[in-house]
């Protein structure tokens, strides 16, 4: 930790290396998670060949447990980041992710074991590596935070474009077992990147506390806007991950002979572009970020439904591109909106708990879609139902605008203290009485506890 540093450097060789390392962590983790549909096809085939009942839903559950565990344990990852450090938390995450993949390669014929090794163990590692890879950015960037965040989160999009073809090559040439062992080696990149995650900003006051309050920031739950936002967003995600898991299989059924992996490629390209564009837009305070998120949810839900009536494969590719753009919008706005609703001090846990809430719908959505397919032998009903939650969420988010969060007296006094320090930092140290007089002359405190400039 750099002594005396009070603001991020916003550049420099180490800062750019940290940014690239975060990019790689996001890419390696979510490049594998987002392209599970390729592994899903192979795993489903193996299960059906062995006569396993409900093969589609069980194979889908393996991938759903991964994404669900990744998000469900995000609050825990945030707490560990505060307690044992960014670097160690990321390293442990990479180690667990690699271990989960390696062990999975030995139990591919036992789907019940894969629920734990691939779904939970790998998901735990992904969670512990993902959260600190975003937290470290705040130690090196401030002015360009929106753009840097967009670049880093675009890592998952770039790797999502490449991984389907790499995984497909490994599956065809070496089989599922060797493929998973290669992916385990791939996860070791995270441990290397973790070595560069050296915090340079002082620890926050919250991180230095002891007891329950050092673990849970109760102030964020007094923010009505945040509570509504955090409860509504998960509703949309009941159908959000369904296309990612079932898209390749859906293409094989609806357009035989076409390459379903190209749709995953389209989503990856468009999502990367969307994250950069909307990440940059998120820095513009004149833009209503909640409204942008509402529009993205409405269109994602509509496009998911339209997949069932596409007349040809090129039209399906266009839908995938559009879904990717608005997927990038949704992801890139999570951080800025959290900062808007709870402030900088509570943003970390606000995002962590939101992702934790999202884990449940992300986990159960794809298996339900797989169960519907097993019953109807068609993805038509599954995709139509998957489009409803995002559309519903886009309307429910209007409730955020209908409530207000008035600052408490504690927050007002805290803000006045910061202003006092800003205007008279030296005088306060040399002569407290003089500083108090100067500060009183600068501000007039009215009866409501608000500061009014004279």
Q: How confident is the model at residue 125 (pLDDT cuts 50, 70, 90)?
A: very high
Q: Which helix (H) or strand (E) holds 16?
A: helix 13-34
Given a cut of 70, whether residue 168 has pLDDT beyond it is yes
CA distances from 309 to 84, 361, 383, 392, 413 (A): 51, 25, 10, 21, 58
Tokens of 79: 């707490």
Helix (H, G, I), strand (E, B) or coil at 6: coil
The per-residue pLDDT for range 382-427, each reduced to its tens digit, is 999 999 999 999 999 999 988 887 655 445 444 444 444 444 444 4
**Angle of CA points 208, 131, 58, to nearest 5°:** 135
Query: Residue 397's CB: how many other CB atoms inside 10 A?
Result: 21
Measured in whole angstroms, the distance separating CA 277 from the mean position of its chain's CA atoms is 17
Segment 127-135 mean pLDDT = 86
CA distances from 6 to 83, 133, 206, 347, 448 (A): 21, 21, 16, 19, 32
Of the CA atoms within 13 Å of residue 448, those in its CB half-sphere come to: 5
Given a cut of 80, whether residue 206 has pLDDT beyond it is no
Task: Tell me how far apart the 2 most distant CA atoms of the chain are, in Å.
Answer: 84
Q: How confident is the model at residue 46 (pLDDT cuts 50, 70, 90)?
A: confident
Tokens of 450: 């608000």
Q: How far apart are CA 253 and CA 256, in angstroms?
A: 6
Measured in whole angstroms, the distance separating CA 107 from the mean position of its chain's CA atoms is 29
pTM over 0.75: no
The predicted structure's pLDDT at residue 6: 55
Q: How far apart are CA 162 and CA 307, in angstroms?
A: 23
């Amino acid at each position: 930790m750099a002594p005396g540093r009070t603001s991020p450097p916003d550049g420099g060789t180490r800062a750019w290396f940290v940014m690239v390392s975060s990019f790689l962590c996001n890419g390696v983790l979510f490049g594998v998670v987002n392209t599970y549909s390729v592994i899903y096809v192979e795993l489903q085939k193996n299960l059906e060949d062995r006569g396993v009942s409900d093969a589609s839903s069980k194979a889908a559950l393996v991938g759903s447990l991964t994404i669900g565990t990744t998000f469900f344990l995000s609050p825990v990852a945030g707490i560990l980041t505060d307690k044992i450090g960014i670097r160690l938390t990321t390293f442990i995450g990479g180690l667990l992710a690699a271990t989960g993949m390696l062990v999975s390669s030995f139990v591919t014929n036992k789907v019940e074991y894969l629920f734990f090794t691939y779904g939970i163990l790998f998901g735990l590692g992904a969670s512990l590596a993902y959260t600190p890879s975003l937290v470290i950015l705040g130690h090196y960037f401030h002015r360009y935070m929106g753009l840097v965040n967009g670049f880093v989160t675009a890592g998952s999009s770039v790797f999502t474009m490449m991984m389907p073809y790499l995984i497909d090559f490994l599956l065809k040439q070496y089989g599922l077992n060797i493929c998973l062992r290669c992916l385990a080696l791939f996860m070791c990149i995270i441990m290397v990147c973790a070595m560069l995650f050296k915090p340079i900003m002082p620890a926050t006051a919250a991180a230095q506390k002891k007891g329950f309050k050092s673990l849970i920031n109760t102030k964020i739950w007094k923010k009505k806007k945040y509570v509504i936002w955090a409860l509504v967003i998960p509703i949309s995600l009941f159908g959000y991950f369904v296309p990612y898991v079932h898209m390749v299989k859906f293409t094989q059924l609806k357009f035989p002979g076409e390459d379903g992996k190209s749709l995953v490629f389209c989503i990856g390209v468009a999502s990367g572009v969307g994250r950069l564009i909307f990440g940059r837009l998120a820095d513009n305070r004149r833009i209503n970020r909640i409204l942008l998120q509402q529009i993205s949810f409405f269109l994602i839900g509509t496009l998911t439904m339209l997949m069932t009536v596409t007349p040809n494969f090129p039209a399906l590719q266009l839908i995938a591109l559009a879904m990717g753009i608005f997927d990038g919008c949704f992801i890139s706005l999570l951080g800025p909106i959290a900062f808007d609703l709870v402030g900088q001090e509570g943003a970390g846990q606000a995002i962590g708990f939101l992702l934790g809430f999202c884990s449940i719908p992300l986990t159960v959505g794809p298996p339900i879609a797989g169960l519907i397919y097993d019953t109807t032998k068609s993805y038509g009903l599954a995709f139509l139902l998957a489009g409803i939650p995002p559309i519903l969420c886009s309307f429910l988010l209007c409730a955020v605008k209908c409530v207000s969060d008035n600052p408490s007296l504690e927050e007002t006094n805290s803000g006045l203290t910061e202003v006092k320090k800003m205007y008279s930092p030296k005088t306060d140290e040399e002569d407290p009485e003089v500083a108090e007089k100067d500060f009183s002359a600068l501000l007039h405190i009215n009866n409501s506890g608000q500061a009014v400039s004279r």
